[in-house]
Structure 1
Amino acid sequence: MTYKRRTFLKTTAVASAAIAAMPSLMASVVKPSTKIGVQLYTVRNEMSSDPKGTLEKIARIGYQKLEGAGYDAGKIYGFSGKEFRSIVSDLGMELTSGHMSSQVFAEGFDQALEFMVDAGQQYAVFPWLSPEQRVSLDQYKGYAATLSKCAEKAKSAGITVCYHNHDFEFQELDGELPMNILLSETDPEMVKIELDLYWITRAGLDPIQFFKDNSGRVPMWHVKDIANTPERGFAEVGTGTIDFQSIFAEKKTSGMKHFFVEQDQSENPLKSIELSYKNLTEKILG
């Protein structure tokens, strides 16, 4: 499906009341039938200083799935794939997915595959392009070729390759939207999309329409809210303007299998992901 710059229905809802009080990290939370994931980039500073202690706190909140953001040369947060798998398994969690740099996809994917197999990781996600990496459509064609090549390698290991969006993929470049290139020049059965609900909404598009246009090709989501402020910054899930109930109602259309809470910026990341978890379980998932 090709996207044009036209008016899209924005998924917005009435903003909720201000946060009255943050829940305690020591509280025991009942895990719902739906396994909720968290993107560890949210707690990147905590993972850097105390990875095991931070993982214990994440498990205590109730999260059962993790998406990594610290892979480097065969390790994550200083642990091998087998070591990390053992640590999170003992806490009742799994490393479902991981963001790996464009350089890893281009030059270090074979080593990354070994790590993913050892870690039990099911998805490899191409996460971000710096400004100089996205100045031409030919660059995006190159990324599509890289994604396709890596997807072929990953298939034999039972691992799925995904592309994670921001807003710039939905901004015209030489008269075309880069997302069109990534979608049209890759096999929809081989290369999937991890849709960031915040960024696609910030770009002025409707995530539900994206699901319909790419049915079954969006197995993972980033779930994060847009603050009800002029700046429209990052907010805890359920405290902002995105209508998550409507979006989750279309999970079959999307083909969604996993979703991860993420908040790029927060004064207290652990409290933020706990509030997001609470709102998901009590207000959104039902």
Structure 2
Amino acid sequence: MLKRRDFLKTTGMAALSGLAVSKAVASGSFWETMPPAGVQLYTFFNVIDADVPGTLQKIADIGYKNIESAFSKKGGYYGMTPKAFAALVKDKGLSWKSHHVLGAPFQLPPGRKMPNGPDGKPIVIPPMKNLRDNMQELVDEAAEGGIPYLVCASIPLNTTDEIKSAMNTLNKTDEACKKAGIQFAYHNHYTEFKPVDGVLPYDIILKETPVALELDLAWVTKAGVNPVTLFEQNPGRYKLWHVKDIDKDLKQPQPVGTGVVNFKNIFEHAKTSGMQYYFVEHDNPADPFASITTSMQNLKKIWGSIA
């Protein structure tokens, strides 16, 4: 017969053992509780068009599973139709989750020039469709590709009139996306957090549109805004993230874990945010494959530190 003292000793040890196992499982399984790691293909803007299949294969080989597409110097979907690109992505063992489009005709900011390509010459890109002028066509193409999300990458928000026009475009696109059976989201930079006539454009987007949000963790950090605060103020609305770091001077994007973004705290609040997919991104890296490899390695370390 098991004596009371032995029972307490045995069950106590079991409880402590169970607690230790639970903590280990929680810590070790955080990676598994997250959606599969994704990549924003803008990271490869200067190289992908030379070899689209090869670029996607290398991304898959590094361990990424999801992709978010963006602009291509070939036009369209890296020179393909949505269906053809979707088939290629699937063939490489990847899943196409989202696509970036412009909200209005492309214009460089005042004083800015097109960056140089690998040949040292300014990049030349074909005319790009935008939501203001080609909204239904872009929505239909996204639906044709079978992707869950269409994302407005940027839209002019520098004046009250531009903001008013932008809200009209975003709301119309959201309605069209719902009819097409896909979701629409808005991606931020840091300028949305600069006042226009005393009001933050980002606050207007939050209040005057129902769109989902794709939070760029580097740009919101540059703006001096805590992502977790946004999650808590707007729970469930941040369906997508751009997982990108930024240097201590808040000027240059960096691979994940090599800058100042507090990823550990942010990922601890993933459930509150409503995040469904996240995409590692690095704007104009010297070596995009090395960058996303570093990001993947550091993401695993960050998640491993979360109990």
What TM-score, normalized to structure 1? Answer: 0.82
Q: Distance in 2 between matches of 1:34 and 1:102?
A: 28
CA distance in 1, matches of 2:181, 2:145: 13
Partner residue in 1 for 2:107: none
Which whole-Å CA distance do the structure 2 matches of 1:236 and 1:218 have between them?
Answer: 22
Determine if the alignment matches structure 1 residue 216 to structure 2 residue 236: yes
Which ranges in structure 2 are unaligned for 5 or more consecutive residues?
A: 1-30, 105-129
Aligned to 1:119: 145
Aligned equivalent of 2:180, options 157, 162, 183: 157
Please point out which of 107, 110, 116 is paired with 2:136: 110
Equivalent residue number for residue 78 of structure 1: 79
User: In structure 2, what residue type is equivalent to 1:192?
Assistant: A
Aligned structure 1 segments of 4 or more residues deviating by more than 6 angstroms:
30-33, 71-74
Measure, in 2, the Cα distance between the counterparts of 1:73 and 1:234. 25
> How many Å separate the matches in 1 of 2:72 and 2:213?
20
Alignment match, 1:23: none
Residue identity in the other structure for 1:120:
G
SS of residue in 2 equivalent to 1:100? strand
Q: Deviations over 1:157-187 (max 9, x none)?
A: 2211111111110011111111111111112
| Structure 2 counterpart SS, 1:45 | coil
1:259 pairs with 268, 271, 278, which one? Answer: 278
Unaligned runs of 5+ in 1: 1-29
Query: CA 1:173 to 1:145, structure 2 compared with 1: closer, same or farther past 3 Å?
Result: same
Whole-angstrom distance in 2 between the partners of 1:153 and 1:46:
33
Q: Structure 1 residue 202: deviation in Å?
A: 0.6
Q: Report which of the two has the higher share of helix.
A: 2
CA contact (8 A) 2:35 2:277 kept: no
- CA displacement 1:116-171 (0-9 Å, x = unmatched): 12212111111124xxx333123112211111111111112221111111111001
- Asked if the contact 1:85–1:118 (Cα under 8 Å) also holds between the matched residues in 2, the reply is no
CA RMSD of aligned residues (A): 2.1
The aligned counterpart of 1:19 is: none
Q: 1:278 aligns with which of 291, 297, 300?
A: 297
> Residue 230 of structure 2: SS of its match in structure 1?
helix
Identity within the alignment, %: 39
Instruction: Answer yes or no: is the 8 Å Cα contact 1:99–1:126 preserved in 2.
Output: yes
Match of 1:246, SS state, is helix
Report if aligned partners of 2:35, 2:276 keep a CA contact under 8 Å in 1. Answer: no
Aligned counterpart for 1:237 among listed residues 256, 260, 263:
256
The answer on whether the counterparts of 1:73 and 1:111 sit within 8 Å (CA) in structure 2 is: no
Identify if the C-alpha distance between structure 1 residues 231 and 256 changes in structure 2 by more than 3 Å, giving closer, same or farther: closer
Supply the distance in 2 between the matched residues of 1:192 and 1:62 (Cα, whole angstroms). Answer: 27
- Is the 8 Å Cα contact of residues 83 and 144 (structure 2) preserved in structure 1? yes
CA contact (8 A) 2:257 2:295 kept: yes
Q: Which has the larger radius of gyration?
A: 2
Are 2:204 and 1:181 aligned? yes
The structure whose RCO (Cα within 8 Å, separation 6+) is larger is 1
Q: 1:71·1:100 contact (CA, 8 Å) conserved in 2?
A: no
Distance 1:267 1:80, change over 3 A: same
Equivalent residue pairs, number: 250
Q: Distance in 1 between matches of 2:197 and 2:96?
A: 38
- Quick one: structure 1 residues 33 and 167, their matched pair in 2 at CA, closer, same or farther if it must change by over 3 Å? closer
CA–CA separation in structure 1 for the residues paired with 2:220 and 2:99:
20
